[in-house]
């Protein structure tokens, strides 16, 4: 009560009213909240209730509640399966590969945008680099498949033109991760700059003026003024990315997957889809998915904690 009173103390009309009165006064706001609340309860918390089938032998005719408990059987089966380490390795290696290449590039591009004058050149580069973000994942996969086609693909032709031997990009497992990561870079680097540009717009111009007087070069000002200003934003983005590390580009991977590149392209989320929905192993697949979610949350909390200790920037 004390805390909430302090929160409204700025509003004199509400200062001395009881909790009930304050709720009643804005009863319509609860009506505003209702559709969203229902949505999140049904479609987000509802499935959380369904997680219990990870610990049961789910039989559709018995329902979620009626099925028998089996404890950690499905988890043990997953951890002991021969594909467990492959799935884990693929998921983590693709994620970190993507993070290593895809995370710094928007920052570099944003810093470069920030150096050039506002004019038609900057505007057109921005418009063009943002555009691929709006290409659907299906079309993106289609473009990748078409461009890398061994018989007629544009990229394969170009590599031949350079006098090199093109690889079997989509059927050679060794190439899958690179194809996945680089196409992602092409699609999302430009869009990723927006958030950093917003942060860069907050740089105090006086810092630059002072630095110029002191004879600092453009390069030095970029490294010592612009970059430090956006570090908090970079940290937050990094935490968010880490928290999502096992949930990576599932839709694109699923579209690019084929029987020949499977050993490099099968990740936890595509496996959950195949086992759960294609092969109807509901309980087992839910257990795998739960494992995925829990690892995600642990990663998120850990990275957030590290960020808090080392830089005072954190999500919470």
Partner 1 sequence: MVTAMKESRGDKLFLISTYIYLSLALLVILYPLIYILSASISSPQDVNSGAMWLFPKNVTLDGYKLVFENPKIWNGYWNTIIYTVVGTLVNLAVTLPASYALSRSDFVGRQLFMGLILFTMFFSGGLVPTYLLVKNLGLINSMWALILPVAASVWNIVVARTFFQTTIPKELQEAAHIDGCTNLKLFIRIILPLSAPIVAVMALFYGVSHWNSYFPSLIYLNDEAKYPLQMVLRQILVLQEMSAETTGASMNGEVAIAMNNKAETASLIKYGVIVVSTLPIVAVYPFLQRYFVQGVMIGSVKG
Residue 50 makes contact with partner 1 by CB under 8 A: yes
Looking at the DSSP bridge assignments, the partners of residue 68 are 57
Site residues (CB under 8 A) for partner 1, limited to 253-272: 254-255, 269, 272
Residue 72 makes contact with partner 1 by CB under 8 A: no
Do residues 142 and 232 make contact, with C-beta atoms less than 8 angstroms apart? no
CB of 222 to partner 1, least distance (A): 8
| Candidate residues 48, 174, 210, 231; the one interacting with partner 1 per rule CB under 8 A | 48
Residue showing tokens 């839709």? 251
Do residues 230 and 199 make contact, with C-beta atoms less than 8 angstroms apart? yes
Site residues (CB under 8 A) for partner 1, limited to 77-106: none
CB of 133 to partner 1, least distance (A): 9
Residue 49 makes contact with partner 1 by CB under 8 A: yes
* Separation CA 202–CA 123 (nearest Å): 20
**Separation of CA 227 from chain center:** 23
Query: Per CB under 8 A, which region of 155-163, 171-179, 259-267, 306-314 contacts partner 1?
Result: 155-163
Q: Which of 283, 292, 254, 293 is nearest to 84 (CA)?
A: 292
Query: Per CB under 8 A, which region of 70-78, 79-87, 111-119, 172-180 contacts partner 1?
Result: 111-119
Residue 103 CB: number of other CB atoms within 10 A? 15
* Separation CA 163–CA 17 (nearest Å): 80
Residue 223 makes contact with partner 1 by CB under 8 A: no
Residue 273 makes contact with partner 1 by CB under 8 A: yes
Q: Give the angle 232-245-293 at the CA atoms, nearest 5°.
A: 115
Dihedral pair phi/psi, residue 217, rounded to 5°: -75, 165
Site residues (CB under 8 A) for partner 1, limited to 274-293: 276-277, 282, 285-286, 289-290, 292-293
Site residues (CB under 8 A) for partner 1, limited to 159-178: 160-161
Site residues (CB under 8 A) for partner 1, limited to 114-143: 115-116, 121-122, 124-125, 127-132, 134-139, 141-143
């Amino acid at each position: 009560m004390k805390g909430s009173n302090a929160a409204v103390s700025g509003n004199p009309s509400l200062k001395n009213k009881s909790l009930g009165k304050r709720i009643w006064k804005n009863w319509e706001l609860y009506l505003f909240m209702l559709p969203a609340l229902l949505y999140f309860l049904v479609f987000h918390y509802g499935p959380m209730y369904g997680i219990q089938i990870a610990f049961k032998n789910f039989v559709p005719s018995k329902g979620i509640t009626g099925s028998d408990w089996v404890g950690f059987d499905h988890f043990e089966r997953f951890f002991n399966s021969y594909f467990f380490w492959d799935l884990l390795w693929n998921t983590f290696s693709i994620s970190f590969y993507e993070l290593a290449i895809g995370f710094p590039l928007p920052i570099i591009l944003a810093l470069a945008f920030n150096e050039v004058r506002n004019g038609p050149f900057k505007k057109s580069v921005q418009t063009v680099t943002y555009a691929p973000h709006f290409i659907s994942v299906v079309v993106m996969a289609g473009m990748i498949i078409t461009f890398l086609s061994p018989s007629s693909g544009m990229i394969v032709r170009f590599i031949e033109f350079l006098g090199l031997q093109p690889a079997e990009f989509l059927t050679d497992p060794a190439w899958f991760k690179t194809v996945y990561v680089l196409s992602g870079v092409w699609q999302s680097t430009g869009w990723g700059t927006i958030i950093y540009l917003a942060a860069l717009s907050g740089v105090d111009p006086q810092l630059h003026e002072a630095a110029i007087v002191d004879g600092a070069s453009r390069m030095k000002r970029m490294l010592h003024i612009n970059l430090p200003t956006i570090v908090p934003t970079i940290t937050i983005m990094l935490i968010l990315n880490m928290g999502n590390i096992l949930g990576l580009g599932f839709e694109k991977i699923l579209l690019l997957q084929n029987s020949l590149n499977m050993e490099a392209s099968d990740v936890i989320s595509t496996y959950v889809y195949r086992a759960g929905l294609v092969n109807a192993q509901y309980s087992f697949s839910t257990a795998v998915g739960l494992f995925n979610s829990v690892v995600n949350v642990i990663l998120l909390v850990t990275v957030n904690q590290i960020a808090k200790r080392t830089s005072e920037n954190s999500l919470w």
